[in-house]
Structure 1
Amino acid sequence: MTDDLRHPVFARFYPRLDAATARLGGDAHRDELLAGASGRVLELGAGHGANFPHYPGGVSEVVAVEPEPALRARAVAAAAQAPVPVAVRAGVAERLDLPDGSFDAAVVSLVLCSVRNPVRALAELRRVLRPGGELRYYEHVRGVTHGMVRYQKYADVVWPYLAAGCHVCRPTDEWIASCGFTVRRERRFDFPPSRVPNPAAPHVIGLAVRD
């Protein structure tokens, strides 16, 4: 069974979209996400390596897992310029070929929206974290108003086909809190700013620890 999930059109488009959102505040969100991280870190769904420049010096190693081969190739190039050691490898979220309890922290950044089984992915993250290890997350999530949730449900009829399996109506923050993690801090916000309603606008940045 291959660990490659190919989305060639999305892989060409996404780095450009990310560069645009970085200028609107996305880079600051990545700094917030990773501030204070230390030790050995697993990054799940590393994409083209957008987080790599933001890892602080206390991180001894990043193992970056990415299933999309074109994005993975970009991540390898980005790893060569990272301020900390980064090893990029193939893999899928629901089946990590990594030992139990082998990481001090795990990072998910705009990825649990698109994995096929996010609850299974969270179980895998919990497995590879040491007891008390950190889960740092930056995700777009289900909204809090009935109107937004209804809008997101309609959007999810077509959104996953346009965005490599991304779903905008997943209660990812609730799943984290119910999958063997204790949330220590969490901030909700809408991003990016827009006059047009965006079903992917509700976001969270948080830190949870493995129970």
Structure 2
Amino acid sequence: MRGAVYYPPCGAAARLLAPVDPWLGRRTTLGAAFVVLSAVKPTLRAEPGEAAPSLRHETPSPESPRPNSLNFYERWMLPPLLDRVMRQSQLEKYRREVIAPARGRVLEIGVGSGLNFPFYGAQVEMVVGVDPSPRLLALAQRRAADAGVKAELVEGTASALPLADRSIDTIVMTWTLCSIPDPLLALREMRRVLKPDGRLLFIEHGLCPEKGVEFWQHRLTPAWRHVSGGCQLDRKMDDLIRAAGFELTELRHPYAEGPRIFTYMYEG
């Protein structure tokens, strides 16, 4: 998932989660997110020419890769939901702060619907945007044109980047690493294509050091990831980035508005 997906509270879900509300934030919106997203997630359907998916449900391990083929929900319903959620005005300040230092040839991991394009400056020569969703890439193409950004958009994953070694000046990630099936492999790929003097710029949400929040992040992630495009609430982003060989020269931990299980940020 590219960001923290949450929705206005609904009565029944809010009452159900009332006992843990102090750990979720001032308003309990998590229950409504489960209700809304679970309600709209349909039974798997095969696209023309594809094998019919199995109706048997098996829960993969948290780090196991998700299937390459997208089901109906992920292909048609999740992209507009993500686009709508990630257009929240409160996220613009984070985009502006993170993207401001970008320069040269930029690789944006999880470019999504192109919401970062208006924030790229004149020092950026071009943006290579990678995303697995063709629907989101179509939106991104239009936003790149509207923003006057030269962009090359690629349908693919961060775990197998179609780029030469040391060919990128800046890598940008905004609320992306939470949903990559193998984040360490993806980060190593990013390091491979980044020039020795290049920079990784990121804003991610992840594991919170507050014990009560951390408990609920671990508890809810197995269910949450199935309705949110693979988003995992409990990844410790700085440890992953360091493990891939990056040196963190700056790291901030702001809280965004909303339930704390979603809004503990890693910015650097």
Q: TM-score, normalised by structure 1?
A: 0.89
AA of the residue aligned to 2:267:
I
**Does residue 1:203 correspond to 2:265, yes or no?**
yes
> What whole-Å deviation, never above 9, does each CA across 1:74-109 have from its counterpart, x for those lacking one?
111111112431111111111111110000011111
- In the TM superposition, 1:54-133 aligns within 5 A as 54-133=119-198
Q: Percent identity?
A: 34
Q: How many residues align?
A: 199
The CA deviation string for residues 52-82 of structure 1, in whole angstroms up to 9 with x for no partner, is 1111111111101111111111111111112
CA distance in 2, matches of 1:3, 1:58: 36
Which structure 2 residues correspond to residues 29-68 of structure 1 after superposition, within 5 A?
Answer: 29-68=94-133
Q: Secondary structure of the equivalent of 1:134?
A: strand
Q: Which residue of 4, 9, 12 corresponds with 2:80?
A: 12
Residues 5/127 of structure 1: CA separation in 2 closer, same or farther (3 Å cut): farther
After superposition, the Cα gap between the structure-2 partners of 1:176 and 1:28, relative to the gap in structure 1 and judged at 3 Å, is: same
What is the CA distance between 1:36 and its match in structure 2? 2.1
CA distance in 1, matches of 2:137, 2:254: 29
DSSP 3-state at the match of 1:157 = helix
Map of 1:209 onto structure 2: none
Separation in 1, partners of 2:70, 2:128: 18
Report the more deviating stretch, 173-182 or 92-101.
Answer: 173-182
Moved more, 90-99 or 78-87: 78-87
CA RMSD of superposed structures (Å):
1.6
* Distance in 1 between residues matched to 2:112 and 2:212, nearest whole Å: 31
Larger % of helix: which?
Answer: 2
Write the deviation string for residues 127-172 of structure 1: whole angstroms up to 9, x where unpaired.
0001121000110011012211111011102110110000010111
Aligned partner letter, 1:186: L
Q: Which runs of 5+ in 2 are unaligned?
A: 1-66
Contact 2:237 2:266 in 1 (8 A): no
Partner of 1:184: 249
Q: Which runs of 4+ in 1 moved over 6 A?
A: none
Map of 2:231 onto structure 1: 166
**C-alpha displacement at 1:30, in angstroms?**
0.3
Show structure 1 runs of 5+ residues with no match. 207-211
Counterpart code for 1:33: V
Q: Counterparts of 2:153 and 2:144 in 1: how far apart (Å)?
A: 8
Shift in CA distance, 58/3, structure 1 to aligned 2, threshold 3 Å: farther
Contact 1:79 1:88 in 2 (8 A): no
Q: Secondary structure at the match of 1:98?
A: coil
Give the direction of change, closer, same or farther, for the CA distance of 1:184–1:83 in structure 2 (3 Å limit): farther
As a proportion of its length, which structure holds more strand?
1
